[in-house]
Amino acid sequence: MKSGISSDHVHVREQYGGGYPANVEGLHHLHCSLYYNYEYYQELGEGAFKNEEPILRLHVSHCLDILRQQLMCTVDVGVLGRVWWNKEDPTPFPDFNTDHKCRNFNAVRQWAFERQVPARVPEDYLESPRDLSIVHDNMP
């Protein structure tokens, strides 16, 4: 498939519309960026993330690594010139006011929202793996 999803990936049963449950990567990256606020939420006494501690550690590690991979894979090759600031002692500083061609984030989010897996899925929503050789021994 053009998306990179293969027949080995998890499949929704035909009676529920078929297809492959998937995440929009950019929304996943945004989710992962929220882990930077983890300690803030903990100090407020609010559990921003519902995982138990061992899973939470794996989740945080995964998220930091996926953001690293994304930044390295899609490295922005735009350049930052320098501007002068501080009239009393002129000092060069990077000009972060650069132009970027952005996608419409709200449109992407709306598209994903309209196609998301229902909040409550029936127990038989997903097809079982046809071949256990495609089942990973470790979380990828």
DSSP one-letter string for 5-52? --TTS--B-GGGT-S-----HHHHHHHHHGGGGHHHHHHHT--S--S-
pTM attached to this predicted model: 0.68
Query: Once rounded to an integer, what is the mean pLDDT over residues 78-92?
Result: 92
Neighbour count for residue 83 (Cβ, 10 Å): 12
Residue 48 pLDDT: 57
- Digit-coded pLDDT (tens) for 5-38: 888 889 999 999 999 998 898 988 888 887 667 6
Is pLDDT larger for residue 88 or for residue 23?
Answer: 88
Q: Are strands 82-85 and 91-94 parallel, antiparallel or unpaired?
A: antiparallel
